Amino acid sequence: MSGWSKLDAFLRTDPRDVGCGEVMELLHAYAELAAADPAAAAERYPGIAVHLRGCGPCTVDFDGLLAAVDLTNP
């Protein structure tokens, strides 16, 4: 990715995006709620929902937590 494409990606960042730090602090709660009701999770934590649409590493962590939550709730 060139310098210009990195700048372009940064400028396209949704202002509601809370960033990786806040996502990591609340991802466990978001995953539990998303397992039960994805729309409610996105409504309660809109900044996390926005962030997960654009951050691959955080999405991988979310997918892992979601899979773990699904395994514990038969």
pLDDT digits (tens, 9 = 90+) for 13-67: 777 899 999 999 999 999 999 999 999 999 999 999 999 998 899 999 999 999 9
CA distances from 23 to 7, 44, 48, 69 (A): 22, 13, 6, 17
Are 63 and 27 in contact by the 8 Å Cβ rule? The answer is: no
User: Where are the chain's structural domains?
Assistant: 16-72
| pTM for the full predicted model | 0.78
d(CA 3, CA 54): 18
d(CA 8, CA 13): 9
Are 30 and 41 in contact by the 8 Å Cβ rule? The answer is: yes
- Which amino acid is present at 28? H
